Amino acid sequence: QVTAEEIGSQVALEYGQAMTVRVCKADGETMPVVVVQNASVLELKKALRRHVQLRQARQGGVQHLSWKYIWRTYHLTYAGEKLADDRKKLREYGIRNRDEVSFIKKLRK
Ordered domains of the chain (ranges, CATH):
4-105 (3.10.20.90)
Mean pLDDT calculated for residue range 66-75: 93
Instruction: Flag whether pLDDT at 1 surpasses 80.
Output: no
pLDDT above 70 covers what percent of the chain?
Answer: 96
Mean pLDDT calculated for residue range 34-39: 92
Specify which residues 21 forms β-bridges with. Answer: 33
pLDDT band at 39 (very low <50, low <70, confident <90, very high): very high
Instruction: Flag whether pLDDT at 65 surpasses 80.
Output: yes
pLDDT above 90 covers what percent of the chain?
Answer: 62
Rounded (5°) CA angle 70-72-74: 60
- % helix, strand, coil for the chain, step of 5: 40, 25, 35
Average pLDDT of the chain, as a whole number:
90
Instruction: Flag whether pLDDT at 57 surpasses 80.
Output: yes
pLDDT band at 109 (very low <50, low <70, confident <90, very high): low
